[in-house]
Structure 1
Amino acid sequence: MRLIVLSHFVWLLFFNATVFAEIKGEGIDYTANGTTLKGYLAYDDAIKGQRPGILVVHEWWGHNEYARKRARMLAELGYVALAVDMYGDGKTAAHPKQAGEFAQALLNNMETAQNRFIAALELIKKQQSVDATKIAAIGYCLGGGIVLTMARNGVDLAGVASFHGSLTTKEPAKPGKVKAKVLVFHGEADEFVTAEQVKAFQAEMKNAQVDLELVTYPGVKHSFTNPEADNLAKKFDLPLAYNEAADKDSWAKLQVFFKQIFANFSASKNK
C-alpha cells in the first residue's frame, strides 16, 4: 500500500512538472545610447541547455502584440526569441501617418537603428539559455528592411529572414561583407515594393555573392502574414491583405531555413 502511495506521489510530481513547463513571455528593458528600449523575451522553460536565439523586428506600427506573438511562436519551435523595440520607449502607432513618421525618423538615422539592433543582439546573447554563436533575425514590413540592412552591414548573424519587407538601400551590399544567409518572402502584388526593386535586389545580392533565397507569391499583397491586415486595410484604406496560404507556407519555409543554418541544434525537453 505504501508503495502504491509513493508511486502515485512520484507520478503527481512528474505531472505537475509537465503541466507547469510552458512558453514563457516577459517584458525586458535594455538601452542604446541612453534610450530605453522595451523588448519581449519568449522561451520554452521545458527545454534543456542552450539553444539558438532569434531577434524579431516589428512592422512600422512598432513593437506590438503581433511581434510578441511571433516571438512566442518561435519559442514553441524551441528557440529563444526577443521581440525588439526599434522606436524606443515601446512606442506604437495607432494611425499610418504616425507609423510613417516613426519609421522615417528611424530610417533617416541608420546609425541609431543599428545601435538599437546591436543592443538587442547583445541582450539575447547574454541570456543563459542562448547559444551566442547561433543567432538569427527576422523582420516584418519595416523590420524586414531592417534585418536586410543589418546583413548588408556585416552584422554577425547566421541568417536573416524578411517578410514583406523593403528591399531598397542607399548602400548596396559589398562582396565578402554579408555574413548571414538571406531569406526573403515577397508578395508579387505588394504595392510598396515594385517588380523593378525586386530585380535590383536580386542583382545586388548576386553581385555581393550573398547566399539568397527569394520566395515570391503571385497575387499576394503587402502584410500577408498579419491576420489584422484586412482590418487595417479597411480602416485606413491601405493596400494590405492577409493571405493564409502564403502565411503558412512562409512560416514552414522559415523553419526549414533555421534547420539549415542551425544544423546541430535539436530541442530537448526536460523529462
Structure 2
Amino acid sequence: MAALHLFKIEAKRQIHPILWVFLISLLLNLIFSSRSGDAIYSDLNVLMNQCIGLYLPIYIFIDFYRDMYVGMNLLNHMVPVRTSLHFVIKALVLALGVIAIWATSLIQVFFSEQGLYAVRMQSSSHPVMGIWYITAAKFASVGCGLAIVGLAAALGRRISCKRLAIAAMIGIVAGITLVLFWLNQHGAAHPGQWMLGTSSIESYKQYAGFLTINFPEPYMNSDIYDTVRWDSVGINAAVALAVSLVAGRMFNSSKYEVYGKLGA
C-alpha cells in the first residue's frame, strides 16, 4: 500500500509538467499530419520534435537531482519504502509520461500521407515487424535513459559538494550515452552517415538512452527494414537492467544516506 501511495503522490506531482507537453504535442501532430505536404509544416514538425527531445531529458535530470540528491520533495521521502523502490516508482511514472508524449508522434508516423508508414514501411518486406521494432526500441530507450539518470543521481549523492555532484552526474549521463552512441555507430551499415534528433523517413530510429539517432540508407528505394537494429534494442534493454540494479543497490546502501545528508 505504501508503494501505491507513493505512486499516486509522484503521479500527481508529475502530471502538470508532463500534461502540457503531451497536449501541445498531440495538437501539433494532428495539425502537421493533415498538412504534411507543406514544407513549412514539415520543418516545424522537426523543430517541435527536437524541442521535446531536449526538454524531456533535461526535465528528468533536474527532477532526479532535486528529488534524489537535494531531497526537496519531502512528502515522497516520508513514505516508508526503500529508496530503491522510490527510484523505481519515480522512473515508472516518468516512463509512462514520456511514452504517452511519444505516442502522439505516432499520429504522423501512421496516419499522415507523408508519414513513415505510408512512404516506407507499407512497401517494406516486414511492415508488422517494423511496428514491433518501433515500439520495442522506444520502450528500451526510455528505460535505459531513466536508468542512466538514476545511476547518476545515486553516484552524485556520494559527493558532498553540489557543484561537483552536478558535474559528475552530467559526466556519467554523457559518458554512458556516448558509449551507447559508439556501439550503435559501430554496428550501422553506413556509420559515417548519421543524424541526431530527427524525424527522418530514410531509416528506422536507433537510440542511445534518450538520444535519438538516424543512420540513413544512401538510396531511398532500399528496403527500410534493412535499417532495423534489434541488437541496438537489446543493448539499451541490457544497459537499463544492469544500470538499474547497480543504482538500486547504491540507493539502498548506508553510504547513500550518509553522503546524501552531507550533500543535502
- Return the TM-score normalized by structure 1: 0.29
Which structure shows the higher strand fraction?
Answer: 1
- Return the TM-score normalized by structure 2: 0.30
Which structure shows the higher helix fraction?
Answer: 2
RCO comparison, higher one (Cα < 8 Å, 6+)? 2
